[in-house]
Amino acid sequence: MNTMLEARTGPRRTIRRIGGIAGALLLALASGGCDSLLEVTDPDIVTPASLQSESGIATVRAGALGDLAIAMNGAASGHGATVGLTLMSGTMSDEYDY
């Protein structure tokens, strides 16, 4: 009876052991290929030096239009939720009467 039990669990144990060793080798190879895990470059960050060229004009324009839209209409949600000029001037001049 013991030989049948060993025959059933023996190959499975060997496969699990080989899988564990292969996983550990993969992890060692993957971590060994990195220079640093915490230093990454973010291509979305705009530096002041990149805005001084012709390629930075589109970024400056988009930022100016976004600032104008928030000033006119306000920001509806988030930490900087504000009332815009359009809503405030309508409220102050009794344009919005209920």
What does the pLDDT read at residue 33?
65
Any residues with CB less than 8 A from the CB of 60 and at least 6 apart, and which? 51
Distance CA 50, CA 60 (A): 10
Q: Which amino acid is at 30?
A: A
* Per-residue pLDDT band at 65 (split at 50, 70, 90): very high
Q: Domain boundaries in the chain?
A: 1-33, 55-92
Indicate whether 2 pLDDT > 70: no
Give the pTM: 0.44
